[in-house]
Amino acid sequence: KLLRGDKHTSFDNPQLGLIATTESNGIPIIRTTARVGNTIANVARGQLRYITKLANGTFSSGVYPYVAEIVTPWQIVDLEFLQPSHPVYALRPKKPLETTFGFYAPRSSFCYPGGEEVI
């Protein structure tokens, strides 16, 4: 696990956009800055499947229904990995940042647990 201990993500919405900061044990490790609009472009709905490797080596699969109101415009401005000494720093993206997918939904709902099974 790359994020050990207490994990926390806070959100700020200054004039420049939405800023999300992820902390581990009180230390900021990732900061994402995005420009987001306030127009609902569409409503996304579907199911997400998560596959998790369990301690005994088997895998668990879970299906989680969701619904989200996706806003436009949406753009990632910056993605910063703040602590070179933290193990998660190895996952930082290349520069310049190339965003292939993403969205911002000010209102979304997920159904947990969505039915898990060992696979």
pTM of the predicted model, to two decimals?
0.66
- 114's CB contacts (< 8 A; 6+ apart) are 47, 62, 63, 64, 65
Q: What is the pLDDT along the chain (119 residues), one digit of tens a residue?
A: 445 555 555 556 655 578 888 888 889 999 988 888 888 999 999 998 889 889 999 999 988 889 999 999 889 988 999 999 999 999 998 888 888 888 888 888 888 766 788 88
In the chain the first and final C-alpha atoms are separated, in Å, by: 22
Q: Would you list the domain boundaries of the chain? A: 7-118
